Structure 1
């Protein structure tokens, strides 16, 4: 669908990466007009392709994408572009479930029964390359009517009480809200005067594709050494960590000679790099925005938080930001949001970001080339060989234990809604495709139907039995798939109505 270009939109988004694109899709689903401004002319980048672009999607990300019918096309495109070499776990006798600072744990070690808030059965996992994720999200965004302007990065902004003016690519754009999804060096964050604080880097990381004069010199796999760490996948995929305080990151051109020198230093071999195809650097800098909202400007993704790519948590953290924020901006624009709904974005997402930054810092501590870190590594390896240890790490890495503090003691409130199997053969996620709230009633209580009706199409009502209700009678699910209220007893219409008011604003008529 082609939407004629206009300079005024409900929401302006800086950045057409996965976070900005998913946010745009969420806003269009809610009927908002959206313009995405992207600095790069071309979305293609070798670092988004395999093998460097491979990302593991967390459980919350998988569930969110499935609720919007985006998971299937991402999986199909990723599989069509994959190769046996990119799925390294296929070459092992046990299937890795994740890692902590490179120390693997495996699916056969994990006790799923410890997660009583989830449905029984194995937790699914999905890996996809960044290029596939972006391509699918961009196609959905454009089909739904999102306008994407590439080669048009934000240069400056001006705020007023009623909106934001953005200057980009020699043009002027107007929006009620501006969301910065423009990366760790975010122009939007700086222009809005939002602070960025955290810990400085300890290392320079390298990702490189090379041709070695003798590929047999290096042993495949991940190796800790007295000077750092390196990963080698034959014939020429290299990852390295040089504990230089981040001194080389974005300071000088990356040459063949430099890659060879660092690789020799870290590996302790006389390896010769015959040709450098491409390389990039990164660090373990861990910074977070001091605020996620200032005036009419909000931040999401790397613009709000940066950390090392260890464990691949950054993409999932950003996708979580987008899902949390989209429906809240839309409700605010419609005038149906409770007074502090948009403020809840920072209350919920800032702690999630802080947890991931600390998770990243802990991995860096384990990787340092020191006797104390090697001793700690041995202890973590032993812990990960236990069932409880592997289950704990899986819960953190997969995001299974993620939960917002919504002020309700019920163990399911604040968690991602289970994908219940309904008695009619469908799954719950199918009923969340429209982006509305959902009041799910397992007991067929007529008074709950009446509660939902008072909010019109903001809340849809579904009375149906499921194969495993986890002891529940009813639950209210937000548009982002998070459980806002849950009850273990039948017909708690007053509690349901109070929760609906908290998250969906004033009803169209007075509830019971």
Structure 2
């Protein structure tokens, strides 16, 4: 049997891509070398526009545990600077604190509900490709085998076997600094809260904002009280001796690091309940970006295409939106209606976004490093952040809401992620995000001025909905499955020629 797509890697990105493909009627098979989902603590949550994307698929509530639509966060952090986002209207930054293993659990459950096969304990050892497909060699507990697929996608992390076997370069920057240390411990004795909600440590005059990176002249300290019996404590240090990553981190070593960074001597005691932050040490950072995201019938998503510092939590925002961008385009190619060049637009659109995360993750580390030069730079940067327009630019950068794809449409919404509008339809009130659960393109008529016959040739692949909106931002909107607007008309100014051009450009020729 020939699979439509084989995805290597059953992390969040690989599983979400499988869901996107399955929604579009494509048969993906997911392979992962691990025998079971890893319980290791990796990402601590979701940050950015990806939260609104997951809401488009009905996944926000099961992942976050919170009812209703996503809500922006009043505060965040950039390079150990507090971002007072409550000053912004609108505020573009969303965040959900949730461990990665929970995200994987929800996504795997959804993938299996959609009929996706996930094969664990199955390691890819090689592949060959020709103009018609890819033959994948693998090793599992039953021995060696082969799978045949029309496309192969590497979602197998920063050390991606697929990327290496495809011969795709992975240039970037590797540094031995900073050294990070982290553990899950009891709340330190002597620590107390101020009226402003900051934490004061015994022997340290600097207040620390919980869940926020705080820079001192000697490094960075983080304290995150997840519950009354357990907190996460972490440090980052520059310029020390090479770290031995083979030797397990002890609480005494972390205590000494906290003393160097903050001046506080804390008694660290393991938390009474098992927590996700087992003591661990990470030396340096690795920031790399694949030269290309496609090599013939082999494609890369997520960390297989880019790795970077975790500061600010951009990884899943970047990787899951890679998957959303690729999923519908690959499905269109497989189902035969993709216009020329659509699949190649995956690299063209997403590689520059990877470059932006490459840039701002490096910038954040530079802003946290010790030294008088950095201190002076931070004083200037802090002044800049006092202006709301600069604060808004940083918030949009962290959210990924500053993305605007090239659509050849002059409307201000074109190329941007669709706003979540409150709508009234023939079936009752609904949010725009609730109209996109099926992962299909959507033509949304907000003023009754759009003749449905203009899209009649595309009804096999484009949903059309008429709705009322109290303050319509456009007369009509045409959305891609990944939530981005590719065409919009002004209120009271129908544009049937523009609509037909956009439908052909993005969703192929009309059916005969």
> TM-score range, shorter-chain basis?
0.7 to 0.9
Counterpart Cα distance in 1 of 2:483 and 2:182: 36
Question: Is residue 55 from structure 1 mapped to residue 45 from structure 2 by the alignment?
Answer: yes
Correspondence 1:444 to 2:448: yes
Aligned position for 1:37: 31
Residues in 2 aligned to 1:261 and 1:62: alpha-carbon distance in whole angstroms? 38
SS in structure 2 of the partner of residue 312 of structure 1: coil
**Which consecutive residues of structure 1, in runs of 5 or more, have no partner in the other structure?**
1-6, 80-88, 90-94, 113-120
Aligned mates of 1:243, 1:322 — CA distance in 2: 35
Specify which of 84, 97, 105 is matched with residue 127 of structure 1: 97
Q: 1:427 to 1:436 in 2, by over 3 A?
A: same
Partners of 1:271 and 1:431 lie apart in 2 by 52
Q: State the Cα distance separating 1:333 from its structure 2 match.
A: 0.5
Note the C-alpha offset of 1:12: 0.8
Gaps of 5+ in 2: 192-200, 271-276
1:157-214 Cα deviation digits (max 9, x unpaired): 2222111122222322221111111111111111110000112223232332346996
Alignment of 1:379 onto 2:380: yes
Pairwise CA distance, 1:256? 4.8
Maintained 8 Å contact 1:212/1:271: no
Matched positions, count: 474
TM-superposed deviation, 1:230:
2.1
Number of the residue aligned with 2:179: 204
How many Å separate the matches in 2 of 1:490 and 1:400? 27
Distance 2:186 2:370 in 1: 27
Which residues in structure 2 correspond to 1:62-461 (within 5 Å)?
Answer: 62-76=51-65, 96-112=74-90, 125-168=95-138, 169=140, 170-201=144-175, 202-210=177-185, 221=209, 222-233=213-224, 237-244=232-239, 247-248=242-243, 250=245, 252-256=247-251, 258-268=253-263, 271=266, 277-281=278-282, 283-424=284-425, 425-445=429-449, 448-461=451-464
CA distances 1:16-50 after superposition (whole Å, capped 9, x unpaired) = 111111100000001111111112222142415xx
1:506 aligns with 2:509: yes
Instruction: Say whether the 8 Å CA contact 1:38–1:150 is kept in structure 2.
Output: yes
Contact persistence 1:109–1:386 (CA under 8 A) = no
| Higher mean C-alpha displacement, 126-135 vs 314-323 | 126-135
Distance change (3 Å), C-alpha of 1:177 and 1:327? same
Give the stretch that moved more between structures: 95-104 or 133-142.
Answer: 95-104
Q: Cα distance 1:245–1:186, how it changes in 2: closer, same or farther (>3 A)?
A: farther
Change (3 A) 1:249 1:305: farther
CA contact (8 A) 2:93 2:398 kept: no
**Residue 141 of structure 1, CA deviation:** 0.3
Residue 487 (structure 1) shift:
1.4
The 1:167–1:359 alpha-carbon spacing in structure 2 relative to 1, beyond 3 Å, is same
Deviations along 1:300-321, whole A, 9 cap, x unmatched?
1111111101001111001110
**Counterpart-to-counterpart distance in 1, 2:231 and 2:418:** 43
CA distance in 1, matches of 2:461, 2:240: 51
Residues 200 and 124 (structure 1 numbering): CA distance in 2 closer, same or farther, change over 3 Å? closer
Q: If each structure's helix is expressed as a fraction of its own residues, which one has the higher value?
A: 1
TM-aligned CA deviation for residue 57 of structure 1: 3.0
Aligned equivalents of 1:125, 1:274: Cα separation in 2: 30
State the shift of 1:268 in Å. Answer: 4.3
TM-score by length of 2: 0.85
Q: Secondary structure at the match of 1:457?
A: coil
Task: Find the aligned partners of 2:241 and 2:110 in 1 and give their Cα distance.
Answer: 38
Which residue is 2:197 aligned to?
A: none
How much has 1:77 moved relative to structure 2? Answer: 7.6
Conservation of the 8 A alpha-carbon contact between 1:111 and 1:387: no
C-alpha distance in 2 between matches for 1:413 and 1:335? 26
Give 1:273 shift.
5.2
Pairwise CA distance, 1:150: 1.5
